């Protein structure tokens, strides 16, 4: 089942034409369209259609990306459900949001995976980031080994410390604990 959440207000929307084509092809029974802003629309999701295996998000800036993630992450299949965010690498707001997810991945490696892909043949809207929920996947062996897990956590903290130093500028390495 495909669930589409859209306000259908864009002046050049092709949504009505898509709906007609779905009906003509006999596919309208496989698509649920929720005519709404995405914020709060999770309350309209049919529980029989959950968990969500795949979601595509393509609107707004950093706050909208964060709002979508916060609202819909609990509905994503914890055994590999994937969110794909569009235009994330060169767009400052979404890039900052994706950076926060990458930090979360470092600190909670058994929760999610993050992979950004660049579309080098495009000048604008040229990337997407996949965020895969893995909290329900059986942990890999290295996470059961306490010494390896501790080393992974130390490495993650060191990466974050170095990133803060780069962001703070020259001479900051001695100041960051």
Domain match, 144 and 134 both: no
Quote the pLDDT of residue 177. 44
Average pLDDT over residues 68-80: 95
Quote the pLDDT of residue 67. 96
- Tell me the pairing of strands 82-86 and 127-133: antiparallel
Task: Quote the domain boundaries for residue 164.
Answer: 140-177
Quote the pLDDT of residue 72. 95
Domain match, 57 and 126 both: yes
Whole-number percent of the chain with pLDDT over 90: 47
Average pLDDT over residues 83-87: 92
Domain match, 55 and 109 both: yes
Tokens coding 15: 């949504």
Quote the pLDDT of residue 38. 94
Domain match, 70 and 146 both: no
Q: What would the pLDDT profile of 22-54 be if each residue is shown by its tens digit?
A: 999 999 989 888 889 999 999 999 999 999 999
Domain match, 68 and 96 both: yes
Q: What would the pLDDT profile of 108-162 be if each residue is shown by its tens digit?
A: 888 999 999 998 888 788 899 999 999 988 665 556 677 777 787 888 888 888 8
Domain match, 16 and 71 both: no
Contact by Cβ (8 Å): 119, 62: no
Average pLDDT over residues 90-106: 92
Domain match, 72 and 150 both: no
More confident residue, 147 or 64: 64
Contact by Cβ (8 Å): 117, 90: no
Whether 75 has a pLDDT exceeding 80, the answer reads: yes
Tell me, what CATH number does 65's domain have? 3.40.50.150
Domain match, 32 and 107 both: no
Domain match, 58 and 26 both: no
Domain match, 116 and 177 both: no
Angle between helices 62-72 and 92-107 (to 10 degrees): 40
Question: How many domains does the chain fold into?
Answer: 3
* Residues in a beta bridge with 86: 128
Domain match, 125 and 66 both: yes
Measure CA 21 to chain center.
29
Quote the pLDDT of residue 166. 74
pTM summary value: 0.73
Contact by Cβ (8 Å): 60, 88: no
Quote the pLDDT of residue 176. 46
Domain match, 57 and 74 both: yes
Phi first, then psi: give them for residue 23, nearest 5 degrees: -65, -45
């Amino acid at each position: 089942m495909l669930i589409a959440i859209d306000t259908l207000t864009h002046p050049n929307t092709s949504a009505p034409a898509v709906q007609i084509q779905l009906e003509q092809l006999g596919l309208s029974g496989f698509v649920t369209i929720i005519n709404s802003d995405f914020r709060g629309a999770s309350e309209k999701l049919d529980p029989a259609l959950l968990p969500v295996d795949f979601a595509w998000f393509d609107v707004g800036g950093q706050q909208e990306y964060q709002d979508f993630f916060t609202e819909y992450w609990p509905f994503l299949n914890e055994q590999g459900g994937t969110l794909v965010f569009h235009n994330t690498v060169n767009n400052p707001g979404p890039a900052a949001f994706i950076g926060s997810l990458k930090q979360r991945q470092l600190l909670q490696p058994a929760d999610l995976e993050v992979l950004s892909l660049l579309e080098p043949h495009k000048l604008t809207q040229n990337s997407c980031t996949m965020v895969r929920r893995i909290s329900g996947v059986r942990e890999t062996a290295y996470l059961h080994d306490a010494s390896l897990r501790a080393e992974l956590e130390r490495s993650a903290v060191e990466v974050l410390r170095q990133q803060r130093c780069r962001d703070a500028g020259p001479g900051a390495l001695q100041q960051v604990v």
